[in-house]
Structure 1
Amino acid sequence: MGITHGNGQYAEVNGLNMYYETHGSGRPLILLHGGLGSGEMFGAVLAAFAEHHQVILPDLQGHGRTADIDRPLDVRLMAGDIAALIDHLRLDRPDLVGFSLGGGVAAATAAQHPEKVGRLVIQSTYLRTDAVYPEILAQQGQVNAAAAEFMKETPMYELYQRVAPRPEDFGRLLDKIGAAMAVPMDLTEEVRGLQVPTLIAAGDADMAPPSHFVEAFALLDGGQRDGGWMGEGRPKGGHALAILPGVTHYSACDSPLFPATALAFLDQPQP
């Protein structure tokens, strides 16, 4: 899982001392990890992304090597961190690829700052809390500091203990993630208003049903008509949808289908 090669740096953004790594070269791409993870989640797929792209791999607020600050975990606030990182690194409209929580942050960044973003890939990110399977919502309702003891055998705990500036803060992170998930989330309007070409992607056995991601695609004018011989009926903004076969929420970051599908979308000729 480890992918650190000593190239990690810190950027001061919005009062956050944000850790990030840079891998590869080419058109810049910011890769955003999921909740309770870090950039190291992408160990199995990073080489594919970095083969032809400069991949910037941040650790989001309170995750990995980025210490928490006195602020809720909110995708709209974390989007401001990514916009500030883009400015800090003087990147020219990088593509954003986000998984799960990172997809929400990526979508919010593109919604708030379309002029700073090239293309967008949202992988395994549900737009509304009520789209998630009830049993998953029940599990999410049990995420708090008291659960830390039960998570000591998990990869998330092991990673946090190994890399976090304050390993003792794991319970605090669980509390903040739990509090964030307890607030009903709805990114519908952000996605409906996206002005950058966007790929909605999910596993075929993800945290929400495939129909939810089809619904998200419809917000972007997708799935409304036949695409036509010349693609003239495709969504006007260059948007696309992918349901990855044999992929769950928990296997997406290890599946070669994730970078293959994302890169096929990112690397097509610009509209």
Structure 2
Amino acid sequence: MTPSAIFGKGRYADVNGINLYYETHGAGRPLVLLHGGLGSGEMFGAILPTLAAHHQVVLVDLQGHGRTADIDRPLDVTLMADDIAALIEHIGLRKPDVVGFSLGGGVALQVAIRHPHLVDRVVSASAQIRRDAIYAEMLAQQAQVSAAAAEFMKDTPMYELYQRVAPRPEDFPRLLDKIGTAMEKDYDYTEEVRGLQVPTLIVAADADMAPPSHFVEVFKLLDGGLRDGGWAGESRPKGGHALAILPGLTHYNLADSPLFAAVTLAFLDRRS
């Protein structure tokens, strides 16, 4: 069976004004898994078997991505976090963990901020909390994302995936416009992160879209990196938070990496 053959056998949930596509893989403690921008749940094909061997993985296609059609509202991580909260309640998940990468990492963080009573632990990977943390050359590239770029993306995996699975394949330029607009918007979630009550693992590649120092800064907001942890871990961050900078990776291959799966499982399965 090819990796793509395990996908596309999910269902839809009419929640929060959107018809949200999701699939369920494996068994065990529930884990909601959220993809990056211009992707879908299929982007986790390389690590899904590892995660599903330990957890019931609920793989979601976010607004306008994959098999979830777009609706008439902006692409915004806070709105998409509300979608995920509504999905958790709709399918009756009891305190699932939420794991997200890039766009999905931002959504996962917002689920923890906005709906802490619904989730147990969160892993937020490659998701900076301030726009100005992104390298200047990357911000310049993001400024070029619009419907006009659709023609130039026809040979990319993102375009191929969208054409293969989207309910309305002709909406790809619209998705690019919406993502471009979202990336232009300034944001700073420093204060929201500082008050986070859900145990959270911050993950980044050592050559990510923002420097490792930014993710260390996020960890400091969570009471991390401020003192020695103690022989028995008694002085680790009070909220159970953690940080992982993964070696030899970039923003573009972190979600495929067994290292990402390994640190995610290590964090989620440490319940003491």
- With the length of structure 1 as denominator, give the TM-score of the two structures: 0.98
Question: Hey, what's the Cα distance between the residues in 1 that align with 2:155 and 2:70?
Answer: 23
Identity %: 73
In the TM superposition, 1:7-46 aligns within 5 A as: 7-46=9-48
- Alignment RMSD, CA only? 0.9
Question: Runs in 1 of length 4+ with deviation above 6 angstroms?
Answer: none
Question: Hey, what's the Cα distance between the residues in 1 that align with 2:179 and 2:22?
Answer: 21
Q: Is the 8 A contact 2:230 2:236 kept in 1?
A: yes
Task: Report the AA paired with residue 209 of structure 1.
Answer: P
How far the C-alpha of 1:250 sits from its partner, in A, is 0.2
- CA deviation profile, 1:49-87 (whole Å, cap 9, x unmatched): 100100000100000000000000000000100000000
Q: 1:230 aligns with which of 225, 229, 232?
A: 232
Is it true that 1:131 corresponds to 2:151 in the alignment? no
Gaps of 5+ in 1: none
Question: Hey, what's the Cα distance between the residues in 2 that align with 1:13 and 1:108?
Answer: 17
Corresponding residue for 1:77? 79
Corresponding residue for 1:256? 258
How far the C-alpha of 1:190 sits from its partner, in A, is 2.3
In the TM superposition, 1:98-177 aligns within 5 A as: 98-177=100-179
How far the C-alpha of 1:269 sits from its partner, in A, is 2.1
Q: Is the 8 A contact 1:62 1:69 kept in 2?
A: yes
How far the C-alpha of 1:5 sits from its partner, in A, is 4.4
Gaps of 5+ in 2: none
Task: Tell me which moved more, 190-199 or 161-170.
Answer: 190-199
How far the C-alpha of 1:187 sits from its partner, in A, is 2.0
Q: 1:56 aligns with which of 58, 68, 73?
A: 58
How far the C-alpha of 1:185 sits from its partner, in A, is 1.8
Q: Is the 8 A contact 1:3 1:43 kept in 2?
A: no
Question: Hey, what's the Cα distance between the residues in 1 that align with 2:59 and 2:169?
Answer: 21
- With the length of structure 2 as denominator, give the TM-score of the two structures: 0.98
Return closer, same or farther for 1:61/1:84 CA change in 2, 3 Å cut-off. same
Question: Hey, what's the Cα distance between the residues in 2 that align with 1:118 and 1:35?
Answer: 24
Q: Is the 8 A contact 2:203 2:246 kept in 1?
A: yes
Corresponding residue for 1:66? 68
Give the SS at the match of 2:235: coil
Task: Report the AA paired with residue 33 of structure 1.
Answer: H
Q: Is the 8 A contact 1:30 1:96 kept in 2?
A: yes
Give the SS at the match of 1:63: coil
